[in-house]
Chain A
Amino acid sequence: MSKDTQLKAGERAFNGLLLLFSLGILYEAYQIAGLASINSPGAFPIMLGLIMTGSMLAILWGQRHHPKPDTRGALDEARQFTRQHFPLPIVVFSAMAIGYLVLLQLVGFLIATVLFLFVSQVYLRRGRWLASALITLGATAIIYALFKLLFQVYLP
């Protein structure tokens, strides 16, 4: 990576979280069997924890001179991160995806899939109700026939 690569908004925070996660892995690995033996069930996991921690430290060290994102303070950086990586379509689609999983358990595969496909297409295509409805019905029928009838897979 070039030394001048500008850091993305939220990149240092994310890498910091990964470093904490790596330390957590190292702690969990130590909890398996301590340092009892070089051949214990925890020996290889400890190695992995050390490697992950070392790699993250190397990444953070390597980025110390990289230009910071053009933001004013942590709050502005958080705002820019949200704007860049969680624009409205992603937030709305994520909410629809979670709603789909909830619906799957409540009303079953067919109804939940038809609703999810139709609503998400209408939203992402900004209208086109009829085309979305036809595609939804066709796609659901194909998925159901293919997986339930041909592959004999259990559907949610």
Chain B
Amino acid sequence: MADSISYFLMAWLDPSLLMLTAIGTLAGIYVGAIPGLSVTMATSILISFTFAWDVNDALALIVGIYTGGVYGGSRTAILLNIPGAPSSVATSFDGYPLAQQGEAGQAIGLSTVMSVIGGLLGTLVLASVAPYLSDMALQFAPRDYFLIAVLGLLLVGSLAAESLSRGIFAASLGAVIGLVGLDPVTADPRFTMGSMQLMGGIHYVVVMIGMFGVAEAFFQLHQLNVKPVRQNVDKIIPSLHLVLKFLPLSIRTSLIGVIVGALPGTGGDIASLFAYDHAKRSVKNPSKPFGQGAYEGLVAPETANNAAVGGAYVPMLTLGMPGDAVTAIIIGALVIHGLNPGPMLMIQTPHIFWFTVGNLALANIFLLIFGLTGIKVFAKVVELPKAILIPLILVLCVVGSYSLNSSMTEVYWMLGFGLLGYFMKIFRFQMGPVILGVILGPLMDETYRQAMSSVGDDSGAFLLALVTNPLSLILSMAVVLLLLSNTPLKAMLARRKTR
């Protein structure tokens, strides 16, 4: 217990970690807020620079960026009606109308406080649930990990993409990219096309920088001349009365955020939409009609998306499964630092878990400080023209991918994935499932083969184990239900019910 507390307080008491968390949070707010930049993009570029750092320093900065970035998107959603991040789409529904009614300051202040409440509740759930889940996860068989990964990819495929087929295709494409190189067991080359350079595989950071950085930068070139409407921001600190009034709703939507965030593959964007929907259904007398400046419509997504940050860390730290695209990147960083995300992390390196919990809590405190100050400077920075921003993003992408191996090959790969990502974006394929596939693909391959080996390569015994083991049965049923819910069968059943 004393050890856990000392690990928890590590980032609070060490000046350099404190500073890195503060810098990360402040940078995250701007990254999340500036349309065209995203937390995933920033984390994937940043991670390539932190490989040589001490793991605590790297984690402190990344946690700050993640926490700040998820919140930062709300600011431009309120001020400019341009969500800075996908998790802030729902915030713009009522945030922008509030700004148009001259209440931009109140809206930003309330969203800041609510984001902090959501973030702290998410951290609390992480601290209380993860140790138990981690103990349970030690009992999981390889087939259960395989099923959880399948479930995660199906979830992100069905929720994030336009249709399940598109999501599954994108996730499988990512898994294929993740498998390029020599087979870790037999050293057979897989998808190398006879190229020596591909034997070592494709670095996942190159894929991420290409698809989130370059593709997005090129996509933004379509909106070079879009000029945002400025809003006046006055009083920003919300009254205690207003905060207390929305506290019950914020607790409910925080829980939605944590649960949705903890599902492998989902994240703040889906959590915020669920929470907004919950607020619309459950609040009978909103302050104003939803969509016309209801504070409830602002509170719900803002608490949920920040609570989802803590939630996303739960499967990452306990199962080694990414909760969303950012935690997928963090998993890669932990592995490179010699750590083993999954149930053994709590046993082998418990300090990493408690350090992360303490760091998340600290980042939320910084969020409160930075969120309620410096709004005038902020308003100027987010209006940075895209004509300046886009070339800068490209330079950062080049530096980030080159620094992985000090090789231009990575830079060309990054550009290639950028081009592929650009085409995929044009034709409505999502990037999130691709990235999760890159991370989960090798894990699925490994767990599938372990599961098969454990039953002597007998597919009948494998299928039998899926229905005789309680956990495997639940997971298998979840996979089947999720698949069925995305087929015409669901619509047919609904039609029959209404007859």
A residues bordering B, Cβ < 8 Å?
1, 8, 10-11, 14-15, 18, 22, 25, 28-29, 32-33, 37-39, 41-45, 48-49, 51-52, 55-56, 58-59, 62, 85, 87, 89-90, 93-94, 97-98, 100-101, 104-105, 113, 116-117, 120-121, 124-125, 135, 139, 143, 147, 151-156
Given contacts A44-B448, A45-B191, A147-B403, contact A125 B166 (CB under 8 A): no
Residues on B with C-beta less than 8 A from A124 are 221, 224, 386-387, 390-391
The listed residue (B398, B403, B453) touching A39 by CB distance below 8 A is B453
Known interface pairs A51-B168, A85-B426, A94-B218; A45-B179 also in contact (CB < 8 Å): yes
Contacts of A39 in B (CB 8 A): 449, 452-453, 457
Q: What is the CA–CA distance of A122 and B457 in the complex, to the nearest angstrom? A: 63
Please provide the 3 A-B residue pairs with the shortest distance between their CB atoms, ordered closest to farther: A124-B387, A55-B169, A41-B183
Question: Which residues of B are found within 8 Å of A151, using beta-carbon distances?
Answer: 49-50
B287 close to chain A: CB less than 8 A: no
Q: A116-B391, A124-B390, A143-B396 are in contact. Are A15 and B403 (CB under 8 A)?
A: no
| A59 with B169, Cβ < 8 A, contacts A41-B186, A97-B394, A153-B49 known | yes
A-B contact pairs, 26 of them (CB 8 A): A1-B162, A8-B426, A10-B427, A11-B427, A25-B191, A28-B191, A32-B189, A37-B457, A38-B457, A41-B188, A43-B448, A51-B172, A59-B169, A97-B415, A100-B398, A101-B408, A101-B412, A101-B415, A105-B408, A113-B395, A116-B394, A125-B388, A153-B399, A153-B403, A154-B403, A155-B402
CB-CB < 8 A to B262: which residues of A?
none
Is B228 an interface residue when CB atoms closer than 8 A count as contact? no
Which listed residue, A44, A62, A116, A117, touches B445 by the CB 8 Å rule?
A: A44
On chain A, the residues within 8 Å of B172 by CB distance are 48, 51-52, 55
Known: A45-B191, A59-B163, A93-B390. A156 touches B398 (CB 8 A): yes
A1 touches B444 (CB 8 A): no
Inter-subunit contact B427/A14 (CB<8 Å): yes
Verify A18–B169 contact, CB threshold 8 A.
Answer: yes
Q: Which of B175, B386, B423, B427 has the most CB of A within 10 A?
A: B427
* Contact between B391 and A15, CB atoms less than 8 A apart: no
